Chain A
Amino acid sequence: MTDTAVLAAPVAGGAASRPPARRRPRLRLRLAALGFMAPVVIFLAVFFVYPIIRGFVLSMQDFGPSSFITGDADFVGIDNYVTVVTDPIFGTIAWHTVLFTVVSLAGQFAIGMALALFFTRRFPLSATFRSLILLPWLLPLIVSATAWRWIFDQQFGVLNAAIGSQVGWLTDPAVSLWAVIIANIWLGIPFNMVLLHGGLQGIPESLYEAAALDGASRWRTFWSITWPLLRPVTAVTLLLGLVYTIKVFDVIWILTKGGPANSSHTIATWAYEQSFTDLQFGVGAAAGEILVVVALIFGFIYIRAQRKETFG
C-alpha cells in the first residue's frame, strides 16, 4: 500500500511536461485514497452491510435450534412475519413500544431543555456541573441499571422508602413498564441537554437584549425568540432521540427482562427473547426488521430535518 500511495509531485518537472504528468498523479492519488479507504470499506461490508442483509434473509428462514448444528434453515417467505403479527401478545408489545418511546422522549426532552436553559446563565462552576450531568451517559449501562435495580427494590429500595409506599416497581406488572421508563428518562437527559444547550448557544445574544429593552417577560421571550429559533435543533434532537429510544434494549433487559408476564416488553426486547431465549431466530429477526423499518422512516425524516437546519 505504501508504494501505490506515492505522490509523483517531484517527478513533474518542466512546464512543458506538466499536462501529461498531471494525469498520473491524479490516478495515483485515487489509488492512494483507495488504499487508505480499503480497511474501512472491507470492515463495513463484512460486519455491517452483510449482517444487515443476513438479518433480512434470516427473517425469512426457519432458523431454529437445529439450524445451529446443521447450518440449514428452510426459506419460509413471510411466515415469520405472520407469526409475529398474529401473536396474541404483539398488539400489547407494540403499544408498550409506543408508550415507552413517547413518554421517555417527552420526559428526557422536558428535563433536558430545562437544564439547557438553566445552564445558559452565568454562575461559578457552571461548566463543571454541566459535565458532571453527563456522567450517566458515560457509565456502562449495566452500572446504572444495577443502581436502579436496588433503588427500585420493593422491600429495601430507597424509592419506596422516600415516597412511603410498597410498590413492586420491577415485580408488579401494573408498574414495571413505568419503572423502566423512569430509568430510561434518566439515562437520556444528558443527550438532550447537550444538544439543546448547543442550540441555545447559537441564538444571538442581541435578540435577547432587544427583547429585554422592549420589556418582554421571560416567558414571552422564551416563546417568541428561543422556541422558534431553536426549532431546527429541537426537531433533530427529538428525531434522533426517537430513533435511539425505539431500539432501547439493555435498560429493559437488565431491569426486568421484559417481565413480569411480558408487562415491560417492547418490540426490541421481545424480538431478542424470541431469538436468544426461545431460539426462534427467524421469528426474532422478523420482529427486528419491523423495528428497522420504523427506525429508518424516522431516520430519513431526521436526515431531511438536518439538511434543512444546515442549508436553511
Chain B
Amino acid sequence: MITKTTRLRRGIDLVIAIVACGFLLFPLYWMVNVSLTKPQNLIQTPPSLFPSDPTLDGYVQALSTQLPNLVTSLVISIGCVILTLAIALPAAFAMAKFKVRGTGAVMFVFLLAQMIPGIVLVTALFAIYNALGLLNTYQGLILADATASVPFAVIILRAFMLGIPDELIEAARIDGASNWRAFVSIVIPLSRNSIVTAGLFSFLFAWADFLNANSLTSGNSIVPFTLGLYRYIGSTTTNWNGIMATAVIASIPAAILLIVAQKYVAAGVTAGAVKD
C-alpha cells in the first residue's frame, strides 16, 4: 500500500529528477533554442531563454550549406557499419561458440585498443596512408573509423552469442549443416537485436568522428559534417542559428538510437568496462 508520505516523497524525487535533468541537458536545450533564434536576437543581452520570435532560417541555411557534408557522413557511416559487421560477426561467433585459443589474446588487444590515444593511432595512420595513397579517400576514413567500432562490436556480439544454446548449433550440425550454414541461418537471425545495437553504435562512432576526418583528409575532397561544422564555427561570428541548426540535425541519429535501443545504450556506455 502506498502511504501518503511515500507518495509525497516520490513527488519530491520526481521534481529533483526534473531539475537535475534540466540542468544537465541545458546545453542541448540551448542548442535548440539558438537554432530557432534570429541572428539579430542572438546578440542581445541578456539572451532570451525561449525562442520568442522563432525562425527556421537557421535550418534552411544549414541544409543549403551542410547537406552535402551530412550525406558524406552518411556514406562513411554506412560503410563503417557494413565493414564492422562483416569483420565482427564471424569473429564474435568463433569466440563465443568455438573454444578458440586466441580469444584471450584478441580480447586483450581490444582492451589495449581502448587505451591507445586516438591521436597516436591517427598520426601513425597518416604516415601509413601517405605511403599507400589512402589519404583523402572514403576507404581510408571508413577503415580508420572501424578501428574504434570493430572491438566494440565484437564485445557486444560475443556477449550475446554466448547466450545462444550450444544445442541449437549442435542440432544443425547433426542435420549436416556446415558451420557457415549454422552461422548464417541460426546464429545471425537469433542475434538480430545485438546486431542492430552493434550496427547502431558503429554508425554513431563513424558519424561522430572528428579526429580521423580532420587528420586524414585535407581541403574539400571529403568533408564529413563534423569537419564542416568545425569550419563553420571558425568562419562565422554571426550565423550561430545556422551552426546550431546543423548541430541539431546532426544529433538526430543519436536521438533515434536512444529511442530505438534504449535498453542497450547503458550497456553500450559500459561495454568498454566489460569483463574478460
Contact = CB atoms under 8 A, between A and B. Distances in A.
Interface stretch (B53-61, B111-119, B190-198): B111-119
Interface in A261-312: 268, 271-272, 275-276, 281, 284-285, 288-289, 291-292, 295-296, 299, 303, 306, 310
A291 B10 contact: no
Interface in A227-248: 236-237, 240, 243-244, 246-247
Nearest to B267: A194
Given A58-B124, A134-B258, A52 B116 contact: yes
B90 A250 contact: no
B126 interface: yes
Main secondary structure of the interface of A (DSSP, over half): helix
A190 B272 CA distance: 14
Main secondary structure of the interface of B (DSSP, over half): helix
B215 interface: yes
B184 to A, nearest CB: 9
B14 A123 contact: yes
B117 A292 contact: yes
Interface in A116-132: 118, 121-126, 129-132
Given A124-B14, A243-B114, A310-B275, A281 B269 contact: no
Given A37-B94, A54-B127, A131 B258 contact: yes
Interface string B238-268: 0010011001001100110110001001100
Interface string A193-221: 01100100000000000000000000000
The winner among A32, A44, A132 for most chain B CB atoms within 10 A is A44
A5 B180 CA distance: 6
Interface string B80-96: 00000011101101110
B257 A138 contact: yes
B165 interface: no
The winner among A7, A40, A146, A158 for most chain B CB atoms within 10 A is A40
A250 B211 contact: yes
Contacts of A246: 117
Contacts of B137: none
A76 B47 CA distance: 55
Contacts of A90: none
A49 B229 contact: no
B120 A147 contact: no
Contacts of A146: 31, 229, 233, 243-244, 247
A52 B87 contact: no
B47 A161 contact: yes
A57 to B, nearest CB: 9
B87 A289 contact: no
Given A131-B262, A139-B254, A243-B114, A58 B127 contact: yes
A22 to B, nearest CB: 14
Nearest to A39: B87
A178 interface: no
Contact of A125 (B17, B30, B87): B17
A48 B88 contact: no
A5 B21 CA distance: 52
Nearest to A284: B123
Nearest to A190: B269
Contact of A136 (B28, B154, B204, B243): B28
B131 A71 contact: yes
A9 B124 contact: no
Contact of B273 (A52, A148, A195, A296): A195
Contacts of B95: 37
B86 A39 contact: yes
B117 A295 contact: yes
A42 B113 CA distance: 15
B269 to A, nearest CB: 5
Contacts of B106: 37, 40-41, 44
Nearest to A306: B275
A58 B131 CA distance: 13
Nearest to B254: A138
A149 B251 CA distance: 17
15 contacts: A7-B179, A39-B86, A51-B128, A52-B124, A130-B266, A138-B257, A140-B210, A140-B226, A156-B45, A156-B47, A158-B47, A249-B118, A249-B211, A281-B123, A299-B114
Interface of A: 1-3, 5-7, 9-10, 29, 32-33, 35-37, 39-41, 43-44, 47-52, 54-55, 58, 63, 68, 71, 115, 118, 121-126, 129-144, 146-151, 155-158, 161, 186, 189-191, 194-195, 198, 236-237, 240, 243-244, 246-247, 249-250, 253-254, 268, 271-272, 275-276, 281, 284-285, 288-289, 291-292, 295-296, 299, 303, 306, 310
Would you list the 7 A-B pairs with minimal beta carbon distance, nearest first?
A247-B117, A140-B208, A55-B124, A36-B94, A40-B91, A123-B13, A288-B120
Given A37-B91, A43-B146, A47-B147, 5 more contacts: A52-B120, A129-B18, A136-B27, A142-B226, A161-B45
